[in-house]
Amino acid sequence: MSGATVLVSVTEAGKTYGDHCALQSIDWQVKEGDWWGVVGPNGSGKSTLLQLIAGTESLSEGQISIEGRDIGSYSRKDLSRMIAVLQQDGLPAISYPVRDVVEMGRYPYQNWLGRESADGARVVDRVLEELGLTELADRPLDSLSGGQRQRVALAKVMAQEPRLLLLDEPTTFLDIKYQLQFMELLAAWQQKSNITIVAVLHDLNLAALFCDHILALREGCVAGKGTPHSLMTKEQIHEVFRVKPAMVPHPDHAVPQLLLRRDKY
């Protein structure tokens, strides 16, 4: 989105754990309203990068800025009003009612007594309605299917009303129907609110279908960044993942899609 405000700026960012370098020299910008997919092999630093942007891990070197301010200058509560995080396992199968779980997303707006204005209840009602969860509002979370629980997890972060949503492999434990449903719900939310999304994804075809931009990591370094058309090439996929794919255009959307080749013995 040309002309859009830079929401996240990552400059020469690095993270080490003891002798292990998880990330090094990451330079990257995310503009308001962007949808980035972050891809790469296991251990390439994808989740570490999300944790650094969320402020749950500290940098070993470099800088991350949110709206031009160093991330370290924000309080935890200030960050939670701007940034929501959804992990791959969504929510644990607890016995809390769905409404109570979604209301947890309003925590950043509560005062020290745990109270909030009536606006919070209206936000929760609206989110439950938008995600088709109103009829499930009184059901305990642990009585729902995995796909329904992931919808509740999305409702919780929607109720948080963030400007930036960080997703760490959000479709990993879903079958293909619920993977597509989840991504379509994200797309509808983004179109309505212009929320900025950064999603770590294993499925490159989903990334190409839904993301405007892709950041590819390998061994803690940037291996490429650009549009799905520029990143989803046979050469780039081989460089990042060490496989030789067949690439075909999607019949409806023309974005590149990956087919796996079997090794010949």
Look at strands 256-259 and 246-249 and give their pairing.
antiparallel
Query: Where residue 265 falls among pLDDT bands split at 50, 70, 90?
Result: very low
How many Å apart are CA 36 and CA 50, to the nearest integer? 12
From first CA to last CA, the distance across the chain in angstroms is 47
Q: Which fold has domain 6-259?
A: Rossmann fold (3.40.50)
Overall average pLDDT of the 23-33 stretch: 96
What's at 131, amino acid-wise? L
Task: Give the tens place of pLDDT for each residue, 35-78.
Answer: 999 999 999 999 999 999 999 999 999 999 999 999 999 998 88
| Tokens encoding 263 | 């090794």
How many Å apart are CA 56 and CA 39, to the nearest integer? 20
Overall average pLDDT of the 211-224 stretch: 96
How many Å apart are CA 53 and CA 59, to the nearest integer? 10
Q: Quote the pLDDT of residue 149.
A: 87
Q: From residue 134, how far is each of 126, 131, 158 by CA, in Å?
A: 9, 8, 15
Task: Give the tens place of pLDDT for each residue, 155-189.
Answer: 999 999 999 999 999 888 788 988 898 899 999 99
195 phi and psi, to 5 degrees?
A: -65, 150
How many Å apart are CA 141 and CA 152, to the nearest integer? 8
pTM of the model: 0.91
| Tokens encoding 233 | 């090439």
Residue 143 in this model has a pLDDT that exceeds 80: yes
How many Å apart are CA 226 and CA 204, to the nearest integer? 14
135 phi and psi, to 5 degrees?
A: -70, -15
Q: Quote the pLDDT of residue 4.
A: 78
